[in-house]
Amino acid sequence: MRETATTVGTRTDGDVMSWEIEGFTASLTGSSRNTADAYRRDVTQFGDWAHRGGLSGPSELDRTTLRRYLAFLNTRGFARRSIARKAAALRAYLRWAHRTGRVETDLSRTLRAPKGAARLPRVPRADEAVALLDDAVAAPAALDDPVESAVARRDLVVLEVLYGAGLRVGECCAITVGDLDLDAAHLTVLGKGSKERRVPLNAPAIAALREYLDVARPMLANAESPPDLVLLNRRGRPLTPRDARRILERHPLDDGRSLHPHALRHAYATHLLEGGADLRTVQELLGHTDLATTQVYTHLTRDHLKAVYEATHPRA
């Protein structure tokens, strides 16, 4: 179900001013912009629903009202995954309201919603990922225009870092020169919740970064370009996640299928596990706080092992 402001009856922010949603949103300093925007929408929708039900602010909330809201979402046909996210936004709001003295009791502890089933994008096989990167490596040399060649070198960096270091697309776009230590072959990443981690860089990614920084980035940069940001678009502005998605569209797999940038992160995790890496190591590399988040990849490796077994064992 497509979510819009009118899906659950949201009118205007003026209807829910007493819920102080702007103050809550401003408190989400450790969250990404996308998360903060989603939480703001979710809590605004809840505030409007509660306002229409006669509640004037968070101090009038109780457990029954919260359970009624989740039941309301279910009757409106929202997917379990969407309801789970809206419940997470409400828990964050309720914790903030309690912490700032707007409610006496922390109701977030009792708010439960069904967890959405983990849905992973289709992951390219290892040979498909290698072929995609090999094509990207060859692209700059085939271009006569220096700007187009610079763009191709930048595209190669994006692909190599997404697959070779397992970064989220937002983390990739935010890389600064100071985050890189190419001599030591590692990259420092500021991930979700402002959690910092250090990930290794493989030789192809290092080579792509060196060539891009030496040759391509100066071709794309201008006087208004952020001096420390690594990845720039054609106009010298910061590369965005949307730009990264377009890069993947320009580099489809051999069967013509285009990948989402996150599919390369999933491929990174899956191929590490298939190669024998232990789950906790992959957890650290991905920057997951909870091991259970990393465990969703294990079903992919089980499918791989089953296929190998059925293809090779004489009694399979």
Environment class of residue 77 by beta-carbon count within 10 Å: exposed (0-12), middle (13-18) or buried (19+)? Answer: exposed
Q: Which residues have a Cβ under 8 Å from the Cβ of 274 and sit 6 or more positions away?
A: 126, 301, 304
Contact 197, 189 (CB under 8 A): yes
Instruction: Assess whether 98 carries a catalytic annotation.
Output: no
R_g (Cα) of the chain, nearest Å: 23
Q: In what order do the strands lie in the sheet with 196-200?
A: 180-181, 186-190, 196-200
Instruction: Assess whether 192 carries a catalytic annotation.
Output: yes
Instruction: Assess whether 168 carries a catalytic annotation.
Output: yes
Q: Which of 153, 154, 265, 271 is catalytic?
A: 265
Instruction: Assess whether 297 carries a catalytic annotation.
Output: yes
Contact 234, 250 (CB under 8 A): no
Q: Which of 39, 93, 212, 297 is catalytic?
A: 297
Q: Which of 68, 192, 234, 237 is catalytic?
A: 192
Q: Which of 40, 154, 168, 271 is catalytic?
A: 168
Q: State the residue for tokens 């409400």.
A: 90
Q: State the residue for tokens 């007493």.
A: 18
Q: Which of 81, 245, 262, 304 is catalytic?
A: 262
Contact 277, 132 (CB under 8 A): no
Check the CA dihedral 56-62-63-65 and report its sign.
negative
DSSP label at 290? S
Q: Please give the structure tokens belonging to residue 292.
A: 């259970």
Instruction: Assess whether 186 carries a catalytic annotation.
Output: no
Q: Please give the structure tokens belonging to residue 116.
A: 């959405």
Q: Which of 40, 91, 271, 288 is catalytic?
A: 288
Contact 209, 187 (CB under 8 A): no
Q: Which residues are catalytic?
A: 168, 192, 262, 265, 288, 297
